[in-house]
Amino acid sequence: MTRSRRKLRRCLLAVGCLFLLGGCGTVSLEPVLVREPRPEEIPVVIGVHYSTEFRTLVYRKTTGQRTLSAFAVGAASVRVFDEALSLLFKGAVQVPDRVPPAGRQSAVAGVIEPTITAVSYWVPQGGVSVNPVRARAEITYTLTLYSPQGLRLADWEVRGDGVDVADGAGVEISGAGSAVARSLEMAMREAAWNLVTHFRDAPGVPAWLAGQGVH
Amino acid sequence: MVHTDARTSRQAESSIRVAEGERVGVLFSSDASPEMPAALGRKMVECVDDAVRRRGWPLEILKQEEVYAALFPGLTPKQVLIRPNTLPLLVARAEIRERIERLHLRYLVLVGGYTDGGADGGVVPFAGWVWSRQRVDLAASVFELGRGTRAGSVQSGAAGSQFVVALMGVVPIGGGVDATGSACGPLGAEVVRMIGAPGD
């Protein structure tokens, strides 16, 4: 076998592997946090608890036995929530449980636990070639605020919508860096922005803030 | 067969006047206009810049990357949320206000809009046909950067369609639908008319 043929075979194998990974692998998401306009800092340290279900949530679309797409929504949500809460509060620390250990309860003013209530996406379908292609996604989180002793103080929903507009010619729909991935990232970014912007107005939060001496 | 239809309108909410030495920023923000492809947004920025150059006015335009770099150093565009309702918050921040004043940046023009289109086609023995259409509704809003409020807006829209039939072995003749081109140039011209010459 000549050198160029071996090279071609290696290339074809590599392309085949990439194709398989693109079709079956779980896609990582990298939502970006909005840093301007910057929220007014809340001068307390907050604890944040992510359940294992939250951290590991993968959103899959399937048809029969076949997975069409799989997005690591939980892992990306942990990153964006960590950044958002660090921007909003004087400090944000992850805690292993809703109720921090007895000796460490005074280190945080409360504990926030997010859950993912809904996630979905849409891409245009049909026989007509559409241009541009708009992929739309939405994500809804429910946040619960607990006192350091584990008393439920507030819960509310935070939602985000995302749309990615791509040129219709040969647009990648559901792999890494695809239109759907970008729309999910935009939805998470929007949800994080809504969390940071409307936190002080969430039901139950103003009373908690007043109890912390924050006005 | 190609058909396009274009229209333009503008609305001033307060007087717009640029003094000599003042600058105007032109920006496409996908947050303000999420339905618009970024490439078309950047083209709209160029249409406004081209319209200023054609007038030959000594008006300095800061474009996309220059606006972000000058006002939000160290941040990527995705880390900044620019929408009509966030502009007052942004310009109220002391550091950003200082940068705006240092740059003599008087107005920010936010461009955006909506576009839609598609193509359909078919083949019968010895012939094929394609019908394509495009509609664009472009808009530009001029924001005064003292308070971040809207001072005026301009709209420009166009729609076009094309129907091509080709017989087997015969190359079809005709170009694509360019509704974008029909709307973008007039939009730039209207924005420039609204801003006026420096010192007027």
Residue B146's domain is classified under what CATH number? 3.40.50
Q: pLDDT tens digits for B96-150? A: 999 999 999 999 999 999 998 877 778 888 888 788 888 899 999 999 999 999 9
Measured in whole angstroms, how far is the alpha carbon of residue B61 from the centre of its chain? 14
**B127 part of a folded domain:** no
Contact A32 B81 (CB under 8 A): no
The pLDDT value recorded for residue A13 is 43
DSSP A144-164: EEE-TTS-EEEEEEEEEEEEE
**B24 part of a folded domain:** yes
Prior bond of A39 cis (ω within 30°): no
The pLDDT value recorded for residue B174 is 58
**How far is it, in rounded angstroms, from Cα B144 to Cα A53?**
47
Nearest to B120 among A37, A128, A165 (CB): A128
Q: pLDDT tens digits for B66-82? A: 999 999 999 999 999 99
- Mean pLDDT rounded to a whole number for chain B: 88
Q: What is the mean pLDDT of residues A192-213?
A: 96
Contact A128 B118 (CB under 8 A): yes
Q: pLDDT tens digits for A181-195? A: 999 999 999 999 999
**B161 part of a folded domain:** no
Contact A110, A208 (CB under 8 A): yes
Pairing relation of β-strands A89-94 and A42-48?
Answer: parallel
| B158 pLDDT more than 50 | yes
**How far is it, in rounded angstroms, from Cα B200 to Cα B197?**
6
Q: pLDDT tens digits for A73-110? A: 999 999 999 999 999 999 999 999 999 887 777 889 99
Global pTM reads: 0.86
Question: What residues make up the domain containing B150?
Answer: 8-113+137-154+178-195
The pLDDT value recorded for residue B178 is 75
* B76 interaction partners in chain A (CB closer than 8 Å): 32
Q: pLDDT tens digits for A145-195? A: 999 999 999 999 999 999 998 876 666 776 767 889 999 999 999 999 999
**B59 part of a folded domain:** yes
DSSP B137-185: EEEEEEEETTTTEEEEEEEEEEEEEEEEEEETTS--------HHHHHHH
The pLDDT value recorded for residue A11 is 42
What is the pLDDT confidence band of residue B175, given thresholds at 50, 70 and 90? Answer: low
Contact A36 B90 (CB under 8 A): yes
Contact B178, B3 (CB under 8 A): no
Q: pLDDT tens digits for B30-55? A: 999 999 999 999 999 999 999 999 99
The pLDDT value recorded for residue B146 is 93
pLDDT above 70 coverage of chain B, percent: 94
DSSP A175-215: STT-HHHHHHHHHHHHHHHHHHHHGGGSTTHHHHHHHTT--
The pLDDT value recorded for residue A16 is 41
Between A144 and B118, the higher pLDDT residue: A144
Tell me the CATH class for A3-211: alpha beta
| B159 pLDDT more than 80 | yes
| A1 pLDDT more than 80 | no
| A17 pLDDT more than 50 | no
pLDDT above 90 coverage of chain B, percent: 60
Contact A165 B72 (CB under 8 A): no
The pLDDT value recorded for residue B1 is 47
DSSP state for residue A27 in the 8-state scheme: B
- Crossing angle, helix B94-103 and helix B64-71, to 10 degrees? 130
**How far is it, in rounded angstroms, from Cα A205 to Cα A156?**
10
**B28 part of a folded domain:** yes
Looking at the 3D structure of chain B, how many domains does it have? 1
Q: For residue A124, give the chain B residue with the closest CA.
A: B118
Task: Please state, as a whole number, how many other Cβ atoms lie within 10 Å of the Cβ of residue A138.
Answer: 19
Task: Please state, as a whole number, how many other Cβ atoms lie within 10 Å of the Cβ of residue A193.
Answer: 21
* A165 interaction partners in chain B (CB closer than 8 Å): 30, 34-38
The pLDDT value recorded for residue B11 is 79
Q: Which of the residues A30, A35, A38 would you substitute to probe the B interface, choosing the one with the greatest number of B C-beta atoms within 10 Å?
A: A35
The pLDDT value recorded for residue A22 is 43
Contact B54, B75 (CB under 8 A): no
Contact B79 A36 (CB under 8 A): yes
Q: What is the mean pLDDT of residues B176-193?
A: 86
The pLDDT value recorded for residue B130 is 80
The pLDDT value recorded for residue A64 is 86
